[in-house]
Structures are given as structure tokens and as C-alpha cells.
Amino acid sequence: MRIVIILLFLLIVGSSYAQTTNLGGNATLWLGDQASFYFGGNTTLNGVVTNRGEIISYSDLDFVANRNVGSLKFVGTGDQNLLGDTLDVANMVVDKAGNSNVILLTDQVVVSGMLDVTNGVVQAEDELDLLVSGSSDGTGQGFVEGKLVGLSTGQPVTFPMGINGSTNYVTLSNTNPGTVFRVEIAQPDFTDARTDEEIQAISEEVEWIITSIGDGSDGQLTIDFSGVDLNTSNVEAINADVYQPAIVALVEGDSLYRVLQSVDDPSLDFRSTDAPPTSGTVTVRDLLTIGEQPVKLALAWIPVVDDIEFYVPNSFAPGGTEFVNRTFRPFFAGDVLTSISISVFNSLNQEVYNVSQSGDNLDLSLFGWDGTLPSGQEAQGGVFYYNIILTSTTDRFTRSGAVLLVK
């Protein structure tokens, strides 16, 4: 006998939330528009499910061979497993007490409508576990821990990520429609990477890894962070009266975290005598290029420069332990550089290094003499002489002098 359960414009509440439910292989569950069906205990749906309303579950939910499963809502206090093959979900709401989990044990969950993680944690550890082709709510207190894939429609796309009980949402805007982005959240590993001279410290709690699947796209990045401790310093302190949070990027193949230019938010600035903020929002001013090579992003804090600063070191050590002191170059902050000219000479007035570059926003950390002669040999230790000309959007700066190469 074939059993058909049809629900039209009804609200049905199970009499026992702890009761296990098993829909037999010959049974059909059909939910009409605006109908809600509550499953209190572990549920296995071997039969055919047609859901035009909403299935609300308090425990494990196994769709077996069903694919189009309609709108799902996960509630309650305990962890829940979502099982099945590839599931096409209209809308997915997670509204659980505390940080209890919804664990994805499916091949893939594709959300075509809205992903709303109001409270609780969605565990999506494997590649392409969770794909949102619709939209995500960016106002919840819950989050996805692991990996989330989202499709850009040309509108801002929010990835409601989080880790260690804290929300750390990422929003990409001004992207090419049709681009598929993957965002992963993890704890950073600083083993093979260093920081540039602007960075005071990097948060050890959270790292975002962003790639595109297929064609890449430029995009503007906004991060809503929480649960970080920027008092944890992993580099030498930089003397400044005021500091501010910033996003730093590490591109695959590079070994240096670089500061991304961000929109200034004075409310996040803090003095050297104050505790750094543990939550806030940082938006990167410039477009970030996102391709198939992973871009690792972390939260750092940097000194705020009130005036233009121009500094040239009097020594450098190409073989030294301090990365920032291995290359001879000037340090500049407080304005945007549009041209760079650096010449270095030996005691016989022979040029051993020269660079001249112009552009809209030059990065000084990409230039400098590493102690290698034009012949390819390493220079001997001693005194060398330099001429430096820097042009910014507001002024021109020149400096000549001597520098000691330390072996």
C-alpha cells in the first residue's frame, strides 16, 4: 500500500519532539505552501518528499535519495547531522541555541534562495560542502565554520563565516556577475611568512582564504570581525601614538604579508596605552584581484601616520636574520607614491644598483638593493653611497648619503 501525506496551509507540531521518524520507501510526504512540518527526533526519509513549505528539524535529518528538499530550518539545543546525497535547498535557516552545530554529511548542499545562520554553527569542512547560489543574510549571530562557496550576481555577497565561537563575516562587492568564490576560515600559520614594516601584530585567531572557481574577478572586500586579540604581538613593536586595524594579504608564492589600503574608521583607532578593539568592520579601499591562486587574509594592526614620514637606514645586512633589514631601501608613509628613483654607488663611483619606476600607487617594499652586484656576485661589506628621489601626490623628496653593508 502506498501512503501519501499531504499538508496544505497547515501548521503541524509533533506530539513528541524526541520521537524517531522513518518515512518508508513507499510513502510520499507532500507539504503545501506555507505549511510547516516539525521533526522532533532523528528522521530518515526513505520515501518521496515534496516540500513547498518548510521542514523544521530538532535532530538528525536524513533525506536518503531525495534531492529537491525545499526549505529547511534547524532548531533546538543539540548537534544535528544533515545526511543525503546532493541536496537542492530552497532556503536554509539555522537558529539553534548557543553554538550547537549542524554538521553537513551530504555530498553537497546547494542553497538557491537564502542562507540565514541566525544562531548556531554550520560545519562545512569538505570541498564544496555548501554552495549558495542565492544570497546570505549578514546580520546573524551564527556562522559557517570551514568552507563556503557563493555565486556572485553582481550584488554584494556575504559569506557568514566564523571560528572558535566568533563571527567573522566576509562581504565581496563590485564583483563580476557569475563568478563563483570559495571562502575558507581557519587559524593562520605564520611558519613560512613574514610581515612588512608597517605591521605591528597579526591576529592569531582567524584567517580567511579566498579563491575563485573558474574565471576570477576583482572585488571590494569588507570584513566584520570579532573575537580577536590584537594584543598578541608576533613582530617587533612599532613606536606610534595611535594604531588602527587593517587587513593584510598573503598571496600564494609570496612570503610577505602586505597591508591592503582600507577605509579609515576613526572609531576603531586606539592609543598605545589602550587595548585594541576585539570587534569591528574593516573595508578595503582598493579592488582585490581574486583568482584560482588562494589569497590569505588576516587582521592586523598598524600605526597611524598623521604626517609624512621619510626614512633612509644607515646600514643593512643581506644575510641578516631580520627580513626587513636585508634590503637597502627607503621607508615612506603618509602619502601615495607616484615615482621612485634609487641609485647606489661604490667607493669608486661605479653604479651597483639602479631602479626607476612610476605609477599610481607604488609599493616601496617591492624595490631595493639586496647587495648583489651587476655581475651577479655578492658585494663585499663596506660603505656605499646613494641618491634617492621619491615623488608623492603632494611633494617631491630627495636624499643622498652613505649606507654600510654589513656582512
Chain segment 286-316, per-residue pLDDT in tens = 788 899 889 999 998 887 766 677 888 899 9
Average pLDDT over residues 356-363: 88
- Of 302 and 348, the one with more pLDDT: 348
- Of 380 and 202, the one with more pLDDT: 380
The CATH class that applies to domain 309-405 reads mainly beta
Alpha-carbon distance 388 to 355, whole Å?
Answer: 10
- Out of 102-106, 251-255, 307-311, the most confident range is 102-106
Average pLDDT over residues 55-71: 95
**pLDDT greater than 60 at residue 210:** yes
Average pLDDT over residues 196-200: 70
Alpha-carbon distance 166 to 249, whole Å?
Answer: 21
- Sequence-separated (6 or more) residues with CB below 8 Å from residue 391: 337, 338, 339, 340, 358, 397
Helix, strand or coil, per DSSP, at residue 342 = strand
What pLDDT score was predicted for residue 324? 60
**pLDDT greater than 70 at residue 321:** no
**pLDDT greater than 60 at residue 232:** no
Helix, strand or coil, per DSSP, at residue 366 = helix
What pLDDT score was predicted for residue 26? 78
- Of 241 and 65, the one with more pLDDT: 65
What confidence tier does 3 reach under pLDDT thresholds 50, 70, 90?
Answer: very low
What confidence tier does 4 reach under pLDDT thresholds 50, 70, 90?
Answer: very low
**pLDDT greater than 80 at residue 402:** yes
**pLDDT per residue as tens digits for the range 260-288:** 878 777 888 887 777 888 899 999 887 88
**pLDDT greater than 70 at residue 131:** yes
Place of cell 536554509: 92
- Out of 18-32, 146-160, 180-194, the most confident range is 146-160
**pLDDT greater than 70 at residue 351:** yes
How many other C-beta atoms are found inside a 10 Å radius of the C-beta of residue 197?
18
Average pLDDT over residues 132-150: 93
Average pLDDT over residues 48-54: 93
Q: What are φ and ψ of residue 323, in 5° steps? A: -60, -40
Helix, strand or coil, per DSSP, at residue 266 = helix
Q: Are 118 and 140 in contact (CB under 8 A)?
A: yes
Please state the separation of Cα 181 from the chain's center in Å: 11
**pLDDT greater than 60 at residue 334:** yes
Q: What are φ and ψ of residue 366, in 5° steps? A: -85, -5
Average pLDDT over residues 167-187: 94
What confidence tier does 8 reach under pLDDT thresholds 50, 70, 90?
Answer: very low
C-alpha closest to that of 267 among 277, 258, 275? 277
- Of 73 and 249, the one with more pLDDT: 73
C-alpha cell at 85: 546525497
Helix, strand or coil, per DSSP, at residue 190 = coil
What pLDDT score was predicted for residue 265? 79
Domain boundaries, the chain: 1-151, 183-304, 309-405
C-alpha closest to that of 160 among 107, 220, 119? 119
Helix, strand or coil, per DSSP, at residue 268 = helix
C-alpha closest to that of 140 among 113, 164, 121? 121
**pLDDT greater than 90 at residue 166:** yes
Sign of the CA dihedral with 11 first, then 16, 22, and 24 last: negative
- Of 31 and 201, the one with more pLDDT: 31
Give the largest CA-CA distance in the chain. Answer: 101
Predicted TM-score (pTM) of the model is 0.73
What pLDDT score was predicted for residue 378? 93
How many other C-beta atoms are found inside a 10 Å radius of the C-beta of residue 188?
21
The mean pLDDT of the chain is 86
What pLDDT score was predicted for residue 306? 61
Q: Are 270 and 241 in contact (CB under 8 A)?
A: no
Alpha-carbon distance 19 to 39, whole Å?
Answer: 8
Q: Are 170 and 149 in contact (CB under 8 A)?
A: no
